[in-house]
Amino acid sequence: MTSPVGEPGTGRNGGEGGDVVLSVRELSVEYSTGAGAFRAVDGVSFDLTAGAALGVVGESGSGKSTTALALLGLHRNTDARVTGRILLGGPDGVEVNGLDDEGVRRVRGGRIAMIFQDPMTALDPYYRIGDQIAEVYRVHSGADRRAAWTRAVEVLDRVGIPDAARRARARPHEFSGGMRQRALIAMALACEPEILVADEPTSALDVTVQAQILDLLDELRADTGMALLLVTHDLGVVSRSADEVLVMHRGEIVERGPVREVLRAPARPYTRALLDAVPRIDAPRDARPVPGEPLLTVAGVTREFRRPGRGLRRETTRAVDDVSLDVRRGETLGVVGESGSGKTTLVRMMVGLLPPTSGRIVFGGETITGLPDRRLRRIRRDMQMVFQDPASSLNPRRTVGDGIADPLRVRGVPDGEARRTARELMERVGLDPARHDRYPHEFSGGQCQRVGIARALALRPRLLVCDEAVSALDVSTQAQILDLLRDVQEEYGLTIVFVSHDLAVIRQVSDRVAVLRGGALVELADVEKLYASPTHEYTRSLLAAVPVLA
């Protein structure tokens, strides 16, 4: 597999393709389950050349991440059975599956390195960023502590960490999400690997930080000749940053080729279905009903957080700064902004989960700010939330049916009636009611999100707040959940506040859009007007950063 002629500044390779640095032949990964063997990857073969970027796409469960982990021997000492050949350096290179554990450790990080989706879990929270990078370098190079620390600072500076010598002494919680991802890239670069495997490296990032990370990966490939294997469910990211693409489905490669050809004229129905599910920033929108009078009013709301500073001083962070807006009955209000812009803090105040430092929240004509807890709980039944991570918002020790029925039981609904309602809601959101007594781990991510929606609907709320409710889902599952939300909004007469860093999704679902920056509301407009002619420079920068399919 070779890369097409590149184009400056577009993430293309800029040449006809270099030497093969990775050959994968008939790779299969099989797991033993109670029902027998499950083949997660089935006969995958491809080549990767120096300096090229290969995108690997597919739905959750397609085998993308399992393939990526196998390249670094990360299935060793698990119940997975890996067969086939993984050759570093091309057809005559080092076979990863033939190495002993020490041999795998030498090539892992030295010749092939990996960055993961969630840098907070990939970094040790107790150790300084610089120490963690230096340790990787020492293990692979044999350098002393001083030289390893110097190298750590050097690669942090290379990936754009400002004042790298000082920030190397910080711990992960002192870095933003984008800076933590840069630190992981720096760690991967410390030993100058030939191949970088990036598994969903930008899916948790807002669009501007995502663009910065993708630009960084492009620069590193151009400067070092490093090859990139980019695993993602975001076809816009692949279009922007990959030379070629592999499309995976149920463990197999169903289509491959130059990224522009595959995305413009896919040969396989599965690829066409993936493309059809992608929300587009320029797609036509369905006509929507005219929203009614305000259901919820946010009036001059500010929220400050205090944390101990040095000595007797206490530092104050203003997460939301004097925000005023209305949410109209029957509408969907989109809320966008970068990480740290105050989106989640604002919506948690809307539903009474956080009290504002100043200002007031009015819901259904009643001021809820400052209400006693008992009275606020009564009102809050009309305001429900759907969260980003459906699995962590469900109790793993309770069945999904009980999870849906519990809000009803708390309100005094008899157990039998609560269970019947739970089954009806499961059917309404597209789940088999016969699985009422199953546990969350027995459901996929999209199915768990349907459970979360069913639970939120149990009390028949008037307001539904969705906080990054589809950001962790692949494009086809995301499309199904968005269709479901649109259907239940119409059926139940819901008003929705939809928080997302994905501006294409926001355009698809919203009637109006509120743009937050640094806790302040910088723009609020009807969706068509805002996307066609944004008035604030910050909104224009967000829209310009959205990756668009080729």
- Using one digit for the tens of pLDDT, what is the confidence trace for 332-369? 999 999 888 899 999 999 999 999 999 999 999 999 99
Burial of 32 (0-12, 13-18, 19+ CB in 10 A): exposed
**Is residue 300 over pLDDT 60?**
yes
What is the structure's pLDDT at 141?
Answer: 86
Burial of 456 (0-12, 13-18, 19+ CB in 10 A): buried
Whole-number percent of the chain with pLDDT over 90: 61
d(CA 109, CA 153): 18
What is the structure's pLDDT at 539?
Answer: 95
**Is residue 379 over pLDDT 50?**
yes
Per domain, the residue ranges of the chain are 122-192, 279-382+462-550, 390-460
Please compute the mean of the pLDDT values over residues 17-40 and round it to a whole number. 86
Name the band, by pLDDT with cuts 50, 70 and 90, for residue 1: very low
Question: pLDDT for 141-183, tens place per residue?
Answer: 889 999 999 999 999 998 888 899 999 999 998 887 778 888 9
Length of the chain: 550
Which segment, 181-195, 273-287, 530-544, is predicted with the most confidence on average? 530-544
Please compute the mean of the pLDDT values over residues 441-459 and round it to a whole number. 89
Three-state secondary structure string covering 94-146: EEHHHCCHHHHHHHECCCEEEECCCHHHHCCCCCCHHHHHHHHHHHHHCCCHH
**Is residue 313 over pLDDT 80?**
no
Which segment, 1-5, 447-451, 494-498, is predicted with the most confidence on average? 494-498
What is the structure's pLDDT at 309?
Answer: 58
Question: pLDDT for 503-546, tens place per residue?
Answer: 999 999 999 999 999 999 999 999 999 999 999 999 999 999 88
Q: 39 near 91, Cβ under 8 Å? A: no
Name the band, by pLDDT with cuts 50, 70 and 90, for residue 374: confident
**Is residue 2 over pLDDT 50?**
no
Nearest to 321 by CA among 369, 294, 356, 362: 356
Token code pair at residue 159: 């990936």
What is the structure's pLDDT at 425?
Answer: 94
Question: pLDDT for 131-151, tens place per residue?
Answer: 999 999 998 888 999 999 999
What is the structure's pLDDT at 346?
Answer: 96
Name the band, by pLDDT with cuts 50, 70 and 90, for residue 88: very high
Name the band, by pLDDT with cuts 50, 70 and 90, for residue 314: low
User: How many alpha carbons lie under 13 Å from residue 482 in its C-beta half-sphere?
Assistant: 25
Cβ neighbours around 70 below 10 Å, total: 26
What is the structure's pLDDT at 8?
Answer: 29
279-382+462-550: CATH number: 3.40.50.300
CA distances from 71 to 23, 95, 117, 409 (A): 10, 10, 17, 49
Q: 456 near 385, Cβ under 8 Å? A: yes
- 3 state SS of 327: strand
Question: pLDDT for 452-476, tens place per residue?
Answer: 999 999 999 999 999 988 887 888 8
Whole-number percent of the chain with pLDDT over 70: 94
Please compute the mean of the pLDDT values over residues 106-115 and round it to a whole number. 88
What is the structure's pLDDT at 470?
Answer: 87
What is the structure's pLDDT at 44?
Answer: 96
Cβ neighbours around 242 below 10 Å, total: 30
Higher pLDDT, 550 or 408: 408
* pTM greater than the 0.75 cutoff: yes
Residue 94: strand pairing partners:
88
d(CA 518, CA 303): 12
Mean pLDDT score across all residues of the chain: 88
Which segment, 54-58, 219-223, 387-391, is predicted with the most confidence on average? 54-58
Please compute the mean of the pLDDT values over residues 396-413 and round it to a whole number. 92
Higher pLDDT, 291 or 256: 256
**Is residue 5 over pLDDT 50?**
no
Q: Please calculate the CA angle 121-127-130 and round it to the nearest 5 degrees.
A: 100
**Is residue 45 over pLDDT 50?**
yes
Please compute the mean of the pLDDT values over residues 26-47 and round it to a whole number. 88
Please compute the mean of the pLDDT values over residues 433-451 and round it to a whole number. 89
- 3 state SS of 48: strand
